[in-house]
């Protein structure tokens, strides 16, 4: 690949913003990527900021993977407990509903935990 601005020079890299091949005289190394000197530094910098922010969000999200399953399990225990130990005798539909919630929460635990592990985060 040749430099976009200098057809007689070899490109050593390409701008992260526009993808043009650039020789050392035409590029700026921003540390995380290359940019056209004096024209695309700002654009490449903002791409980098955007990506950094996105990966930060992905790192934050898995910390709450257990909230919904735990809440579902809690609801299940409340319903099942009420259904089985109601002072007015067993309430079948509540017990069944509670057990259903518990089974569903176990499923959520497994699914969410797998997604959480797949993100590469540490437990």
Q: What SS3 string covers 55-84? A: HHHHHHHHHHCCHHHHHHHHHHHHHHHHHH
Residue 30 in the binding site for Zn ion (CB under 5 A)? no
Residue 23 in the binding site for Zn ion (CB under 5 A)? yes
Among 6, 84, 100, 106, indicate the residue that binds Zn ion (CB under 5 A). Answer: 6
Residue 102 in the binding site for Zn ion (CB under 5 A)? no
Which residue number, 41 or 62, has a Cβ lying nearer to Zn ion?
41
User: Residue 65: which of 5, 121, 24 has the closest Cα?
Assistant: 121
d(CA 84, CA 104): 19
Residue 26 in the binding site for Zn ion (CB under 5 A)? yes
Stretch binding Zn ion (CB under 5 A), from 32-40, 55-63, 92-100, 109-117: 32-40
17-54 b/e (C-beta count within 10 Å ≥ 16 → b): beebbbbeebbbeeeebbbbbeebbeebbebbeeeeee
Which residue number, 23 or 102, has a Cβ lying nearer to Zn ion?
23
Q: Which residue is nearest to Zn ion (CB)?
A: 15
Residue 16 in the binding site for Zn ion (CB under 5 A)? no
Cβ at position 50, least distance to Zn ion in Å = 16
Q: Which residues bind Zn ion (CB under 5 A)?
A: 3, 5-6, 15, 17-18, 23, 25-26, 36, 40
């Amino acid at each position: 690949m040749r430099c976009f601005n200098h057809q007689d020079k070899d490109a050593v890299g390409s701008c992260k913003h526009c993808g043009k091949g650039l020789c050392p005289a035409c590029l700026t190394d921003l540390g995380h990527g290359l940019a056209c000197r004096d024209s695309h530094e700002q654009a490449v910098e903002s791409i980098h900021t955007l990506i950094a922010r996105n990966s930060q969000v992905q790192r934050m999200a898995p910390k709450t993977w257990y909230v919904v399953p735990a809440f579902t399990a809690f609801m299940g225990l409340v319903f099942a407990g009420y259904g089985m130990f109601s002072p007015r005798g067993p309430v079948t539909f509540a017990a069944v509903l509670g057990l259903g919630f518990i089974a569903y929460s176990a499923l959520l635990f497994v699914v969410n935990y797998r997604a959480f592990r797949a993100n590469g985060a540490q437990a």
